[in-house]
Amino acid sequence: MTDDRMALLELIEKRADADLVREMLGFAAERLMETEVQVRTGAAHGVRDPGRQVQRNGYRGRAWDTRVGRIDLEIPRLRRGSYLPSFLEPRRTAEKALTAVIQEAYIHGVSTRAVDDLVKALGASGVSKSEVSRLVAEIDGRVNAFLARPLEGEWPYVWIDATYVKAREGGRIVSTATIIAVGVNTDGRREVLGVATGASEAEVFWKGFLRSLADRGLRGVRLVIADDHKGLRAAASKVFHAGLQRCRVHWMRSALAHVPAKQRPAVVAMLKTIFAQETAADARGQWDSVADALRERAPRLAELMDEARDDVLAYTAFPREHWPQIASTNPIERLNGEIKRRTDVVGIFPNAAAIIRLVGALMLEQNDEWAVGRRYMTLEGLAAFSDAPQVRLPAMAV
Protein backbone atom coordinates (compact mmCIF):
# COMPACT_ATOMS: atom_id res chain seq x y z
CA MET A 1 0.00 0.00 0.00
CA THR A 2 1.38 3.45 -0.91
CA ASP A 3 2.26 6.09 1.66
CA ASP A 4 -0.47 8.37 0.25
CA ARG A 5 -3.19 5.73 0.74
CA MET A 6 -1.92 4.96 4.24
CA ALA A 7 -2.11 8.65 5.16
CA LEU A 8 -5.63 8.91 3.76
CA LEU A 9 -6.81 5.80 5.68
CA GLU A 10 -5.31 7.15 8.90
CA LEU A 11 -7.18 10.41 8.33
CA ILE A 12 -10.48 8.58 7.81
CA GLU A 13 -10.00 6.41 10.91
CA LYS A 14 -8.89 9.33 13.01
CA ARG A 15 -11.89 11.58 12.47
CA ALA A 16 -15.37 10.57 11.41
CA ASP A 17 -17.20 13.83 12.01
CA ALA A 18 -18.52 16.78 9.99
CA ASP A 19 -14.98 17.96 9.20
CA LEU A 20 -13.98 14.70 7.55
CA VAL A 21 -15.04 15.59 4.03
CA ARG A 22 -13.30 18.94 4.23
CA GLU A 23 -10.07 17.35 5.44
CA MET A 24 -10.24 14.69 2.76
CA LEU A 25 -10.77 17.35 0.11
CA GLY A 26 -7.84 19.34 1.47
CA PHE A 27 -5.66 16.22 1.41
CA ALA A 28 -6.67 15.50 -2.20
CA ALA A 29 -6.01 19.11 -3.21
CA GLU A 30 -2.53 18.97 -1.67
CA ARG A 31 -1.65 15.77 -3.54
CA LEU A 32 -3.05 17.16 -6.81
CA MET A 33 -0.97 20.33 -6.48
CA GLU A 34 2.18 18.33 -5.81
CA THR A 35 1.49 16.19 -8.88
CA GLU A 36 0.84 19.21 -11.12
CA VAL A 37 3.95 21.04 -9.90
CA GLN A 38 6.07 17.92 -10.39
CA VAL A 39 4.99 17.88 -14.03
CA ARG A 40 5.82 21.59 -14.36
CA THR A 41 9.26 21.29 -12.74
CA GLY A 42 10.22 17.94 -14.24
CA ALA A 43 11.24 16.48 -10.87
CA ALA A 44 9.73 15.42 -7.55
CA HIS A 45 9.89 17.77 -4.57
CA GLY A 46 13.24 17.62 -2.75
CA VAL A 47 14.84 15.34 -5.34
CA ARG A 48 18.01 16.35 -7.15
CA ASP A 49 17.37 15.58 -10.78
CA PRO A 50 19.42 16.80 -13.78
CA GLY A 51 16.17 16.86 -15.73
CA ARG A 52 14.62 19.51 -13.46
CA GLN A 53 13.31 22.41 -15.56
CA VAL A 54 12.61 24.99 -12.85
CA GLN A 55 13.23 25.31 -9.10
CA ARG A 56 10.46 25.64 -6.53
CA ASN A 57 10.29 28.79 -4.40
CA GLY A 58 8.29 28.04 -1.24
CA TYR A 59 4.54 28.45 -0.87
CA ARG A 60 1.84 31.11 -0.80
CA GLY A 61 -1.34 30.84 1.21
CA ARG A 62 -4.81 31.11 -0.28
CA ALA A 63 -8.27 30.36 1.07
CA TRP A 64 -10.38 28.01 -1.08
CA ASP A 65 -14.14 28.30 -0.56
CA THR A 66 -15.89 24.99 -1.21
CA ARG A 67 -19.35 23.58 -0.54
CA VAL A 68 -18.00 21.87 2.58
CA GLY A 69 -16.37 25.00 3.96
CA ARG A 70 -13.17 27.00 3.60
CA ILE A 71 -9.90 25.15 3.05
CA ASP A 72 -6.56 26.87 3.61
CA LEU A 73 -4.26 25.93 0.74
CA GLU A 74 -0.48 26.19 0.54
CA ILE A 75 0.12 26.69 -3.18
CA PRO A 76 3.67 25.93 -4.39
CA ARG A 77 5.56 28.81 -6.00
CA LEU A 78 8.08 28.58 -8.82
CA ARG A 79 11.23 30.61 -9.34
CA ARG A 80 10.32 31.09 -13.00
CA GLY A 81 6.81 31.34 -14.35
CA SER A 82 3.60 30.90 -12.37
CA TYR A 83 1.39 28.09 -11.13
CA LEU A 84 -2.33 28.10 -10.34
CA PRO A 85 -3.98 24.80 -9.37
CA SER A 86 -6.31 23.46 -12.05
CA PHE A 87 -9.18 23.05 -9.58
CA LEU A 88 -9.35 26.75 -8.68
CA GLU A 89 -11.67 29.15 -10.48
CA PRO A 90 -9.75 32.45 -10.95
CA ARG A 91 -12.82 34.53 -11.75
CA ARG A 92 -15.31 33.00 -9.33
CA THR A 93 -15.35 35.79 -6.72
CA ALA A 94 -15.75 38.60 -9.26
CA GLU A 95 -18.55 36.82 -11.09
CA LYS A 96 -20.38 36.23 -7.81
CA ALA A 97 -19.87 39.87 -6.84
CA LEU A 98 -21.30 41.03 -10.15
CA THR A 99 -24.29 38.75 -9.66
CA ALA A 100 -24.79 40.08 -6.12
CA VAL A 101 -24.73 43.71 -7.26
CA ILE A 102 -27.19 43.06 -10.08
CA GLN A 103 -29.57 41.16 -7.81
CA GLU A 104 -29.34 43.82 -5.10
CA ALA A 105 -30.26 46.53 -7.59
CA TYR A 106 -33.13 44.40 -8.88
CA ILE A 107 -34.81 43.51 -5.58
CA HIS A 108 -34.61 47.12 -4.34
CA GLY A 109 -36.25 48.36 -7.52
CA VAL A 110 -33.39 50.67 -8.51
CA SER A 111 -32.11 48.75 -11.51
CA THR A 112 -32.13 49.96 -15.09
CA ARG A 113 -34.10 48.30 -17.87
CA ALA A 114 -30.89 46.55 -19.03
CA VAL A 115 -30.39 45.01 -15.58
CA ASP A 116 -34.04 43.94 -15.43
CA ASP A 117 -33.65 42.15 -18.76
CA LEU A 118 -30.41 40.52 -17.60
CA VAL A 119 -31.96 39.25 -14.35
CA LYS A 120 -34.90 37.74 -16.23
CA ALA A 121 -32.58 36.18 -18.81
CA LEU A 122 -30.62 34.56 -15.99
CA GLY A 123 -33.84 33.21 -14.52
CA ALA A 124 -33.18 35.04 -11.25
CA SER A 125 -36.28 37.23 -11.11
CA GLY A 126 -37.59 35.19 -8.18
CA VAL A 127 -34.55 35.80 -5.98
CA SER A 128 -35.40 36.73 -2.38
CA LYS A 129 -33.90 39.47 -0.25
CA SER A 130 -32.54 36.88 2.17
CA GLU A 131 -30.73 35.06 -0.65
CA VAL A 132 -29.18 38.30 -1.88
CA SER A 133 -28.21 39.27 1.69
CA ARG A 134 -26.46 35.94 2.18
CA LEU A 135 -24.52 36.31 -1.08
CA VAL A 136 -23.63 39.92 -0.30
CA ALA A 137 -22.36 38.99 3.16
CA GLU A 138 -20.23 36.20 1.72
CA ILE A 139 -18.60 38.48 -0.86
CA ASP A 140 -18.19 41.40 1.55
CA GLY A 141 -16.39 39.18 4.03
CA ARG A 142 -13.70 38.23 1.51
CA VAL A 143 -13.40 41.67 -0.07
CA ASN A 144 -13.24 43.56 3.22
CA ALA A 145 -10.61 41.17 4.57
CA PHE A 146 -8.54 41.75 1.44
CA LEU A 147 -8.88 45.55 1.55
CA ALA A 148 -8.04 45.66 5.27
CA ARG A 149 -5.05 43.29 5.21
CA PRO A 150 -1.74 44.52 6.70
CA LEU A 151 0.79 45.91 4.21
CA GLU A 152 4.29 44.72 5.02
CA GLY A 153 7.66 45.96 3.81
CA GLU A 154 8.47 49.10 1.82
CA TRP A 155 6.64 50.29 -1.30
CA PRO A 156 8.73 52.85 -3.20
CA TYR A 157 6.23 53.33 -6.04
CA VAL A 158 2.46 53.76 -5.76
CA TRP A 159 0.12 54.29 -8.72
CA ILE A 160 -3.28 55.87 -8.11
CA ASP A 161 -6.04 56.32 -10.67
CA ALA A 162 -9.77 56.99 -10.71
CA THR A 163 -12.64 55.54 -12.71
CA TYR A 164 -16.06 57.16 -12.61
CA VAL A 165 -19.27 55.13 -12.25
CA LYS A 166 -22.88 56.07 -11.56
CA ALA A 167 -24.56 55.32 -8.25
CA ARG A 168 -27.70 56.30 -6.41
CA GLU A 169 -27.21 58.62 -3.47
CA GLY A 170 -29.96 60.33 -1.55
CA GLY A 171 -32.55 59.64 -4.20
CA ARG A 172 -30.48 60.97 -7.10
CA ILE A 173 -27.92 59.57 -9.53
CA VAL A 174 -24.36 60.86 -9.04
CA SER A 175 -21.03 60.23 -10.74
CA THR A 176 -18.79 58.56 -8.17
CA ALA A 177 -15.02 58.31 -8.37
CA THR A 178 -13.67 54.83 -7.71
CA ILE A 179 -10.03 55.07 -6.63
CA ILE A 180 -7.50 52.27 -7.07
CA ALA A 181 -4.04 52.22 -5.51
CA VAL A 182 -1.39 49.79 -6.75
CA GLY A 183 2.12 49.51 -5.34
CA VAL A 184 5.43 47.79 -6.01
CA ASN A 185 7.43 46.60 -3.01
CA THR A 186 11.18 46.21 -2.71
CA ASP A 187 10.79 42.56 -3.70
CA GLY A 188 9.62 43.75 -7.12
CA ARG A 189 6.07 42.46 -6.62
CA ARG A 190 2.92 44.37 -7.56
CA GLU A 191 -0.11 44.39 -5.28
CA VAL A 192 -3.44 46.19 -5.16
CA LEU A 193 -3.14 48.29 -2.01
CA GLY A 194 -6.61 49.75 -1.68
CA VAL A 195 -9.95 50.73 -3.22
CA ALA A 196 -12.18 53.64 -2.21
CA THR A 197 -15.00 55.81 -3.49
CA GLY A 198 -15.42 59.56 -3.02
CA ALA A 199 -14.84 63.03 -4.40
CA SER A 200 -11.44 62.67 -6.06
CA GLU A 201 -10.78 66.42 -6.15
CA ALA A 202 -10.97 66.99 -2.40
CA GLU A 203 -7.74 67.07 -0.37
CA VAL A 204 -9.56 65.78 2.71
CA PHE A 205 -10.57 62.66 0.77
CA TRP A 206 -7.05 62.03 -0.50
CA LYS A 207 -5.56 62.52 2.94
CA GLY A 208 -8.08 60.11 4.47
CA PHE A 209 -7.44 57.49 1.79
CA LEU A 210 -3.65 57.70 2.06
CA ARG A 211 -3.78 57.66 5.86
CA SER A 212 -5.89 54.50 5.75
CA LEU A 213 -3.11 52.87 3.70
CA ALA A 214 -0.47 54.15 6.11
CA ASP A 215 -2.45 52.80 9.08
CA ARG A 216 -2.34 49.35 7.46
CA GLY A 217 1.46 49.54 7.23
CA LEU A 218 2.21 51.25 3.91
CA ARG A 219 5.63 52.87 4.22
CA GLY A 220 8.75 53.68 2.24
CA VAL A 221 6.77 55.48 -0.50
CA ARG A 222 9.11 57.58 -2.65
CA LEU A 223 6.89 58.46 -5.61
CA VAL A 224 3.13 58.55 -6.18
CA ILE A 225 2.15 58.32 -9.87
CA ALA A 226 -1.26 59.79 -10.66
CA ASP A 227 -3.22 62.23 -12.78
CA ASP A 228 -3.46 65.90 -11.82
CA HIS A 229 -5.95 65.45 -8.96
CA LYS A 230 -6.33 68.54 -6.80
CA GLY A 231 -5.26 67.89 -3.23
CA LEU A 232 -3.36 64.68 -3.95
CA ARG A 233 0.05 66.36 -4.04
CA ALA A 234 -0.41 67.95 -0.61
CA ALA A 235 -1.82 64.72 0.82
CA ALA A 236 1.06 62.59 -0.54
CA SER A 237 3.59 65.03 0.89
CA LYS A 238 1.95 65.17 4.31
CA VAL A 239 1.25 61.47 4.73
CA PHE A 240 4.27 59.86 3.05
CA HIS A 241 6.69 62.75 2.42
CA ALA A 242 6.67 61.49 -1.17
CA GLY A 243 6.90 63.25 -4.52
CA LEU A 244 4.14 63.21 -7.14
CA GLN A 245 4.64 62.15 -10.75
CA ARG A 246 1.95 63.59 -12.99
CA CYS A 247 0.90 61.04 -15.60
CA ARG A 248 2.87 61.90 -18.73
CA VAL A 249 0.24 60.50 -21.10
CA HIS A 250 -2.65 62.43 -19.55
CA TRP A 251 -0.62 65.62 -19.46
CA MET A 252 0.16 65.37 -23.18
CA ARG A 253 -3.50 64.86 -24.02
CA SER A 254 -4.60 67.94 -22.11
CA ALA A 255 -1.66 70.00 -23.42
CA LEU A 256 -2.48 69.24 -27.06
CA ALA A 257 -5.95 70.73 -26.56
CA HIS A 258 -4.21 74.14 -26.76
CA VAL A 259 -2.69 73.40 -30.17
CA PRO A 260 -4.51 73.71 -33.53
CA ALA A 261 -5.34 70.29 -35.00
CA LYS A 262 -3.07 70.77 -38.03
CA GLN A 263 -0.06 71.52 -35.83
CA ARG A 264 -0.53 68.63 -33.39
CA PRO A 265 1.56 65.97 -35.22
CA ALA A 266 4.57 68.33 -35.28
CA VAL A 267 4.10 69.32 -31.63
CA VAL A 268 3.78 65.67 -30.57
CA ALA A 269 7.05 64.89 -32.32
CA MET A 270 8.73 67.78 -30.45
CA LEU A 271 7.37 66.67 -27.09
CA LYS A 272 8.50 63.09 -27.64
CA THR A 273 12.11 64.27 -27.97
CA ILE A 274 11.93 65.27 -24.30
CA PHE A 275 11.02 61.79 -23.13
CA ALA A 276 13.65 60.17 -25.36
CA GLN A 277 16.50 61.71 -23.34
CA GLU A 278 18.75 59.40 -21.32
CA THR A 279 19.41 61.59 -18.26
CA ALA A 280 17.39 63.86 -16.01
CA ALA A 281 19.50 66.89 -16.92
CA ASP A 282 19.09 66.27 -20.65
CA ALA A 283 15.32 65.82 -20.26
CA ARG A 284 14.97 69.10 -18.40
CA GLY A 285 17.15 70.90 -20.89
CA GLN A 286 15.16 69.55 -23.83
CA TRP A 287 11.91 70.48 -22.08
CA ASP A 288 13.03 74.10 -21.81
CA SER A 289 14.19 74.12 -25.44
CA VAL A 290 10.85 72.80 -26.71
CA ALA A 291 8.90 75.25 -24.56
CA ASP A 292 10.93 78.17 -25.96
CA ALA A 293 10.40 76.94 -29.54
CA LEU A 294 6.62 76.90 -28.99
CA ARG A 295 6.19 80.30 -27.34
CA GLU A 296 5.23 82.14 -30.51
CA ARG A 297 2.89 79.65 -32.20
CA ALA A 298 1.46 78.03 -29.04
CA PRO A 299 1.94 80.49 -26.15
CA ARG A 300 -0.60 78.79 -23.86
CA LEU A 301 1.12 75.42 -24.28
CA ALA A 302 4.50 76.97 -23.54
CA GLU A 303 3.04 78.51 -20.38
CA LEU A 304 1.65 75.13 -19.30
CA MET A 305 5.04 73.54 -19.91
CA ASP A 306 6.71 76.08 -17.63
CA GLU A 307 4.21 75.22 -14.88
CA ALA A 308 4.28 71.42 -15.28
CA ARG A 309 7.96 70.60 -15.89
CA ASP A 310 8.81 69.41 -12.38
CA ASP A 311 5.59 67.37 -12.13
CA VAL A 312 5.89 65.61 -15.49
CA LEU A 313 9.63 64.94 -15.18
CA ALA A 314 9.64 63.84 -11.54
CA TYR A 315 10.28 60.24 -12.67
CA THR A 316 13.71 61.19 -14.02
CA ALA A 317 15.07 61.41 -10.45
CA PHE A 318 14.68 57.63 -10.11
CA PRO A 319 16.56 54.65 -11.63
CA ARG A 320 16.63 54.78 -15.43
CA GLU A 321 15.30 51.24 -15.87
CA HIS A 322 12.10 52.20 -14.01
CA TRP A 323 11.25 55.19 -16.21
CA PRO A 324 8.87 53.37 -18.61
CA GLN A 325 6.76 52.13 -15.68
CA ILE A 326 6.73 55.20 -13.41
CA ALA A 327 6.25 57.98 -15.97
CA SER A 328 2.50 57.37 -16.29
CA THR A 329 -0.49 55.52 -14.90
CA ASN A 330 -0.47 53.16 -17.90
CA PRO A 331 0.47 50.16 -15.69
CA ILE A 332 -3.04 50.24 -14.18
CA GLU A 333 -5.00 51.25 -17.28
CA ARG A 334 -5.85 47.59 -17.94
CA LEU A 335 -7.39 47.39 -14.48
CA ASN A 336 -9.54 50.41 -15.23
CA GLY A 337 -10.64 48.80 -18.49
CA GLU A 338 -11.67 45.63 -16.65
CA ILE A 339 -13.58 47.69 -14.09
CA LYS A 340 -15.44 49.63 -16.78
CA ARG A 341 -16.33 46.42 -18.59
CA ARG A 342 -17.99 45.03 -15.45
CA THR A 343 -19.54 48.26 -14.17
CA ASP A 344 -21.09 48.98 -17.57
CA VAL A 345 -23.13 45.80 -17.11
CA VAL A 346 -24.65 47.22 -13.92
CA GLY A 347 -25.16 50.74 -15.29
CA ILE A 348 -26.28 52.41 -12.06
CA PHE A 349 -25.15 50.98 -8.73
CA PRO A 350 -27.68 50.87 -5.86
CA ASN A 351 -25.13 52.36 -3.41
CA ALA A 352 -21.42 52.98 -2.83
CA ALA A 353 -21.01 49.67 -0.97
CA ALA A 354 -22.02 47.80 -4.13
CA ILE A 355 -19.21 49.57 -6.04
CA ILE A 356 -16.62 48.49 -3.47
CA ARG A 357 -18.03 44.95 -3.56
CA LEU A 358 -17.59 44.51 -7.30
CA VAL A 359 -14.37 46.48 -7.78
CA GLY A 360 -12.85 44.96 -4.65
CA ALA A 361 -13.59 41.44 -5.90
CA LEU A 362 -11.97 42.22 -9.24
CA MET A 363 -8.88 43.62 -7.51
CA LEU A 364 -8.66 40.60 -5.18
CA GLU A 365 -8.48 38.28 -8.18
CA GLN A 366 -5.97 40.51 -9.97
CA ASN A 367 -3.82 40.42 -6.85
CA ASP A 368 -3.89 36.61 -6.90
CA GLU A 369 -2.74 36.60 -10.53
CA TRP A 370 0.14 38.96 -9.77
CA ALA A 371 1.16 36.82 -6.78
CA VAL A 372 1.94 33.85 -9.02
CA GLY A 373 3.40 35.89 -11.89
CA ARG A 374 6.87 37.19 -12.50
CA ARG A 375 8.31 40.19 -10.67
CA TYR A 376 7.25 43.55 -12.09
CA MET A 377 10.64 45.10 -11.30
CA THR A 378 14.04 43.49 -10.75
CA LEU A 379 15.62 43.17 -7.32
CA GLU A 380 18.77 44.86 -8.63
CA GLY A 381 16.85 47.92 -9.77
CA LEU A 382 15.13 48.23 -6.40
CA ALA A 383 18.26 47.61 -4.30
CA ALA A 384 18.62 51.31 -3.48
CA PHE A 385 15.20 51.29 -1.76
CA SER A 386 15.61 48.05 0.19
CA ASP A 387 16.66 47.70 3.83
CA ALA A 388 17.98 44.19 3.15
CA PRO A 389 21.56 43.99 1.84
CA GLN A 390 22.01 42.56 -1.64
CA VAL A 391 23.98 39.32 -1.43
CA ARG A 392 26.09 38.57 -4.48
CA LEU A 393 27.88 35.25 -4.96
CA PRO A 394 31.55 35.42 -5.95
CA ALA A 395 32.37 34.64 -9.55
CA MET A 396 33.43 31.06 -10.17
CA ALA A 397 36.80 30.42 -11.67
CA VAL A 398 36.67 28.67 -15.05
What integer pLDDT is reported at residue 2 of this predicted model? 54
Closest CA to 156 of 326, 369, 341, 388: 326
What integer pLDDT is reported at residue 212 of this predicted model? 96
The phi and psi torsions of 21 (rounded to 5 degrees) equal -60, -40
List per-residue pLDDT tens for the chain, 398 residues long.
455 555 554 554 444 444 666 676 777 788 888 888 988 888 887 788 887 888 888 888 888 776 557 788 899 988 887 788 877 755 466 556 655 655 555 445 445 455 455 445 444 444 556 666 666 777 788 889 999 999 999 999 999 998 898 888 888 888 988 999 999 999 999 999 999 998 666 788 899 999 999 999 999 999 999 998 878 888 888 999 999 999 999 999 999 999 999 999 999 999 999 999 999 999 999 999 999 999 988 999 999 999 999 999 999 999 999 999 999 999 898 888 888 887 887 788 888 888 898 889 889 888 988 987 889 998 888 988 865 444 443 444 43
What integer pLDDT is reported at residue 95 of this predicted model? 58
Beta-ladder partners of 64 = 71
CB atoms within 10 A of CB 120: 11
Closest CA to 243 of 228, 227, 223, 226: 223
Q: Where are the beta strands (DSSP E) in the chain?
A: 56-66, 69-78, 157-169, 172-184, 190-198, 223-226, 243-246, 348-349
179: left (phi over 0), alpha (psi -120 to 50) or beta: beta
CB atoms within 10 A of CB 261: 7
pLDDT digits (tens, 9 = 90+) for 90-136: 546 655 665 565 555 544 544 545 545 544 544 444 455 666 666 67
CB atoms within 10 A of CB 367: 16
Beta-ladder partners of 71 = 64
Beta-ladder partners of 76 = 59
What integer pLDDT is reported at residue 94 of this predicted model? 57
The phi and psi torsions of 5 (rounded to 5 degrees) equal -70, -40
